[in-house]
Amino acid sequence: MLHELQTSFLKGIYDASVENNAYPYLQETTERTAEQQLSIYRGSIFGGLKKALAETYPVTKELVGDDFFNMMLGQYIKTYPCSVQDLNDYGEELPDFIRELKQARSIPYLADIAQLEWFCNSVLNTEIQRNNLVELEFLNTKQKTQLRLNLPNGSTLFQSNYPVDEIWGMHQNDIEKELELTEELVNLIVWQSEFGIRIDKLTLEQFYFLEKLNQGLTFVDVCADVINRYPKSDINFLFVNALQYGWLQSYEI
């Protein structure tokens, strides 16, 4: 009985129809109908989830304004009720939801901005691992052939047809300027250093190099793959450059 009540109640929160399954469980009073009682909880639950999503997606919110953002989140929450215990993990599907949302098409880069914000949120909630790359010089020749290099824990490689890093940066610093949307491919890595989250722009070669490393290939195979795709590549430069920027975190044999 209790299970049916709780199931109907939570289902009823996301269902505002007249034949709501939760109503039969509620005692109507002279002050409040069953619908009014449930709507108080609906407002509170939706309000809490919207607040959490607004903290995860502040630039998306700023780009569309409070009213549109609230309307969009209302639809999103009904489509994707929260199924995670930690509110920091709620909202992963919002970028794809925006991509499909007709009313959001006037801002073509909105879904990519939301995607970038989700990656920032995810990496922020990841523990920083110890960097063990100083031990690389002690590897013998056989070990070096088996070497696999890892990107920082929780980092994400991301490509967009819009300058989402610049749009994102302008909103962080309250800068207002005209941006030319050239639909030129932007390659990014979102990662976390000991000083905070970083969004770094990459060349195509850098992106490909890091992407292959991230797929778990050995360093030897990655080098061969990169040379095959970009014959003029300077592997030594790509490797040293990635080390210097901090895009490599650890190794394994």
Partner 1 sequence: MTVLSEHHSGKKRNASPCHTSINGVGVGFRSNHFEYIEKNQPDIPWFEVLIDNYMMDAGSSLYYLEKAAEAYPVTFHGVGMSLGSTDQLNKDYLEKLKNLIKQFNPVYVSDHLCWTSVNGYHSHDLLPMPYTDEAIKLLVAHIKQAQDFLERRILIENVSSYLNFKDSIMSEWEFLKIVVEESDCDVLLDINNIYVSAVNHNVDAIQYIKNIPAERVKEMHLAGYTDMGTHLLDTHGEAVHVPVWKLYEQALNKFGNIPTLIEWDNDVPEFSVLEEEAAKAEVIMKKVRACAA
- Please, which residue, 42 or 144, has the CB nearer to partner 1? 42
3-class secondary-structure state, position 154? coil
Q: Hey, which residues between 186 and 215 contact partner 1 (CB under 8 A)?
A: 193-201
- Please, which residue, 26 or 213, has the CB nearer to partner 1? 26
- Please, which residue, 88 or 233, has the CB nearer to partner 1? 88
Smallest gap, in angstroms, from Cβ of residue 163 to partner 1?
12
Cα separation of 82 and 46, whole Å?
10
Asked if 48 interacts with partner 1 (CB under 8 A), we say: yes
Asked if 77 interacts with partner 1 (CB under 8 A), we say: no
Question: Quick one: which segment of 29-37, 97-105, 155-163, 220-228 binds partner 1 (CB under 8 A)?
Answer: 29-37
3-class secondary-structure state, position 139? coil
Instruction: Pinpoint the alpha helices (H) of 57-163.
Output: 58-64, 66-79, 94-100, 110-124, 141-145
- Please, which residue, 81 or 133, has the CB nearer to partner 1? 81
Asked if 244 interacts with partner 1 (CB under 8 A), we say: no
How far from each other are the two terminal CA atoms of the chain, in whole angstroms?
56
Angle at 89 between CA 86 and CA 95, to 5 degrees: 155
Q: Hey, which residues between 224 and 243 contact partner 1 (CB under 8 A)?
A: none
Smallest gap, in angstroms, from Cβ of residue 117 to partner 1?
10
Cα separation of 164 and 245, whole Å?
21
Q: Given the structure tokens 């990169």, which residue do they identify?
A: 226
